[in-house]
Amino acid sequence: MPAEKPSVLIIYTGGTIGMVTNPETGSLAPLDFSHISREVPELNKFGFQLDAISFDPPLDSSDINPEAWIRLANILNENYHLYDGFVVLHGTDTMSYSASALSFMLENQYKPVIFTGSQLPIGTLRTDGKENLITAIEIAAAKHNGYSIVPEVCIYFENKLFRGNRTRKHNADHFNAFTSDNYPALAHAGIHLRYNYGAIHNPDKHLKLKIYTRLETNVAVLKVFPGITRQVTDAILNISGLKAIVLETFGTGNAPTSDWFVELIKKAIANGLIIVNVTQCDAGMVDMGRYDTSIALRDAGVVSGYDSTTEAMLTKLMFLLGNKSRKEEIIACLNRSISGEISVF
């Protein structure tokens, strides 16, 4: 009996990869997936079963929101048993947020979900979209001993495969748009696809996929800066209904030590707000207590974000607040890795 063809479902959400120039405005706007497939006849050479689903209308990723993540999770769940892997075509601007969110919303995942996109539309001569799409499909279908090699939510971009919840978009112009400074690449694509097996999650393949579709959006990011005023801090910490804040701090988790700043943080925590400390740096981790300027935060009950990106921490909070009611349980989950997003074990 001939071996079954590898099968991959491509989910097109929008983004530059499928955009064309709007003749009226001269700006780029998303088009449907048939446009992309016409531009990449190479897809026929795979000999895979390739199917596609398109968001209607496709979205520039600036318009992606938790509703779109829920739609994605449902599409993945409904099609999970039908395909070996999934490729999500998505705009680069918020791709790290989406990949992070999905990494929390999918539990017991043992099939690849590979996000990719491009910096130049697929119809343009120098597009980076073709290689990104073709290699993402190859990775989504890749198996070893019958099991997917990369059973994670990832971003593949410009020759590198990253764990999605470790990435951030760091370059608006270059083809290598993403970095993962606190976690090594899961694969490098050169002449060969070289997988970094030691860095790839090894799940229990016998558990059933479970999706979580409740996300709490009453969260915010407060980035401290030299000169931040009492009014700004007070206004953000006291937003009505706010449940949690990602506090983006300096270096290893440092913030102004003015009495008013520390008092506002203490009061907000006493009123039930969860505050998580994440560094503004691209690499390294929060270590409250290393400097005097972070001791007050630690003593006030600010939770460490370890080496998390803001993108991963914000979506982790949305996920935890949407699915757990007890504050102690949420804080316990913040102090451990749920999906490989922080380096604590």
Q: Which residues are catalytic?
A: 16
Identity of the amino acid at 298: R
Distance CA 243, CA 245 (A): 7
Closer CB to ligand ASP, 88 or 288, in the complex: 88
Nearest-approach distance from CB 124 to ligand ASP, in angstroms? 13
109 binds ligand ASP (CB under 6 A): no
Q: CA nearest 199: which of 160, 170, 169?
A: 160
Nearer to ligand ASP, 52 or 199 (CB): 52
Token couple for 244: 């949690």
Binding mask 18-57 for ligand ASP (x = CB under 6 A): ----------------------------------------
Give me the least distance between CB of 119 and ligand ASP, in Å please: 6
- The count of chain residues that interact with ligand ASP, using the rule CB under 6 A, is 11
Alpha-carbon distances, residue 125 vs 14, 120, 121, 130 (angstroms): 20, 9, 9, 10
Name which of residues 113 to 132 contact ligand ASP (CB under 6 A): 117, 119
Residue 330, C-beta contacts closer than 8 angstroms, at least 6 positions apart: 274, 320, 321, 324
> Whole-angstrom Cα distance, residue 128 to residue 285?
32
CB of 60 to ligand ASP, least distance (A): 4
Q: Are 143 and 149 in contact (CB under 8 A)?
A: yes
Selected binder of ligand ASP within 6, 8, 11, 61 (CB under 6 A):
61
By beta carbon distance, the residue nearest ligand ASP is: 91
Where are the alpha helices (H) located in 85-182, listed in sequence order? 95-105, 129-141
Q: How far is the CB of 91 from ligand ASP (least distance, A)?
A: 2
Amino acid making up residue 300: A
Identity of the residue, 17 or 334, whose beta carbon is nearer to ligand ASP in the bound complex:
17
Q: Is 9 helix (H, G, I), strand (E, B) or coil?
A: strand
- The distance of closest approach from Cβ of residue 172 to ligand ASP in the complex, given in angstroms and rounded to an integer, is 8
Q: Which of 310, 286, 308 is nearest to 297 (CA)?
A: 286
158 touches ligand ASP (CB under 6 A): no
Q: Which is nearer to ligand ASP, 99 or 297 (CB)?
A: 99
Q: Please compute, for residue 35, the number of CA atoms within 13 A of its CA located in the half-sphere on the CB side.
A: 20
Site for ligand ASP in 234-273 (CB under 6 A): none
Q: At what angle do helices 259-270 and 292-300 cross, to 10 degrees?
A: 20
Min separation Cβ 114 and ligand ASP, Å: 16
- Closest to 273 measured CA to CA, from 295, 240, 249, 305: 240
Structure tokens at 284: 């390294």
Beta carbon nearer to ligand ASP, 13 or 180: 13
Q: What is the CA radius of gyration of the chain?
A: 21
Asked if 114 and 157 count as a contact pair (C-beta separation under 8 A), the reply is no
133 or 285: whose CB is closer to ligand ASP? Answer: 133
- Rounded to a whole number of angstroms, the minimum distance from the CB of residue 208 to ligand ASP is 33
Q: Lay out the site mask for ligand ASP across 5-24 (x = CB under 6 A, - = otherwise).
A: ---------xxx--------
Does residue number 60 form part of the binding site for ligand ASP (CB under 6 A)?
A: yes
Considering only residues 67-106, where is the footprint of ligand ASP by CB under 6 A?
91-93
In terms of residues, how long is the chain? 345
- Residue closer to ligand ASP, measured from CB, 93 or 311: 93
Kindly list the residues in this chain that would bind ligand ASP in the complex (CB under 6 A): 14-16, 60-62, 91-93, 117, 119
